[in-house]
Amino acid sequence: MIEELERSGNLLFRGRSYFPLVLYVLMAVVIGLGWDPLFQSFDLISALTCIAVSMLGLLIRALTIGYTPRGTSGRNTKAGQVAEVLNTKGMYSLVRHPLYLGNFFMWLGIMIYVGNVWFTVVCCLLYWLYYERIMFAEEAFLRGKFGQAYLDWSVDVPSFWPRNLKWITPHVEFSMRNVLKREYNGFFAVFLSLAMVSMGKTYVHISQDWEAILHPFWQNAVIGSFAVFFILRSLKRYSRVLHVEGR
């Protein structure tokens, strides 16, 4: 069982960038069949609440990535597990998998906005079942590479939900440039996903007029977030403004 869990976890790790596609399909089914009794028309409070939940996830990721050196906490998939050092400080002093915790909240805001409580519950369970195996494989890799140092750290730090807020300051300075360089995709994806949910709900429940299907709030949100995405992506590709040595 241990070997099988590790193999399946490594397989899911390499394909984890495709997991959102499953959630998008489920969202489309729920909205298309009219199983979304909540938020059928635009409401500013609900929109801002869901944005805040997703931004909490982005903040968790930012606090993780801003303190981590190169070779850890990345988006690598083809290369498999990568860890040049064992992270035990910053967000890693609170939970062993802060990036996946951040991902969860980023998706939670979107799932809530779909407007079906049971859909949100089911998606949370799917997320846990999927990432539980990835976390198992990652921990097997870290345990094999760092041995007793990993065991000493992991015994007091929970895997996913923080038990305390005993923050240990990392030995490296926080780098906002590193965050901007690596997280602009997620920032834009949150607003685009929420806008797509709003479009689907409007089309099904209110109007099939394509000229009025996207509320002005979401039009401005998508345009603004895309501008941020475009600027940061250009800076990353065509300049060294966001480059940080050793990150």
Report the C-alpha gap between 209 and 202 in whole angstroms.
9
| 3 has a pLDDT exceeding 80 | no
Q: Check: CB of residue 235 under 8 Å from CB of residue 242.
A: yes
Query: In the prediction, which pLDDT does 180 show?
Result: 96
| 78 has a pLDDT exceeding 60 | no
Neighbours of 52 (CB within 10 A): 11
* CB-side neighbour CA atoms (13 Å) of 118: 5
Report the C-alpha gap between 179 and 61 in whole angstroms.
8
Query: In the prediction, which pLDDT does 221 show?
Result: 98
pLDDT tens, position by position, 99-132: 999 999 999 999 999 999 999 999 999 999 999 9
| 75 has a pLDDT exceeding 60 | no
Rounded to 5 degrees, what angle do the CA atoms 237, 239, 245 make?
Answer: 100
Angle between the N-to-C axes of helices 44-65 and 98-114, in degrees from 0 to 180, rounded to the nearest 10: 170
Segments making up each domain of the chain, as ranges: 2-173
Report the C-alpha gap between 12 and 189 in whole angstroms.
21
Average pLDDT over residues 124-150: 90
Backbone angles phi, psi at 210, to 5 degrees: -65, -20
Average pLDDT over residues 148-158: 91
Residue 116 corresponds to which tokens in the numbers above? Answer: 């079906």
Dihedral class, residue 80 (left if φ above 0, else alpha if ψ from -120 to 50, else beta): left
Which pTM does this prediction carry? 0.91
pLDDT tens, position by position, 188-210: 999 999 999 999 999 999 887 77
Average per-residue pLDDT in the chain?
A: 90
Q: Check: CB of residue 9 under 8 Å from CB of residue 120.
A: no
Query: In the prediction, which pLDDT does 80 show?
Result: 52
Query: In the prediction, which pLDDT does 126 show?
Result: 94
| 51 has a pLDDT exceeding 90 | yes
| 73 has a pLDDT exceeding 60 | no
Q: What share of the chain is helix, strand, coil (3-state, %, to 5)?
A: 65, 0, 35
Domain 2-173 listed as CATH 1.20.140: no
Query: In the prediction, which pLDDT does 72 show?
Result: 64
* DSSP per-residue codes, 189-244: HHHHHHHHHHHHHHHHHT---TTSSS-HHHHHHHHHHHHHHHHHHHHHHH-STT--
pLDDT tens, position by position, 210-240: 767 899 999 999 999 999 999 999 999 999 9
Query: Percent of the chain having pLDDT more than 90?
Result: 66
pLDDT tens, position by position, 154-185: 999 999 999 888 899 998 899 999 999 999 99
Pick the closest to residue 157 from 95, 234, 226 (CA basis): 95
Query: In the prediction, which pLDDT does 177 show?
Result: 94
Contacts of 206 (CB under 8 A, 6+ apart): 40, 41
Query: Percent of the chain having pLDDT more than 70?
Result: 92
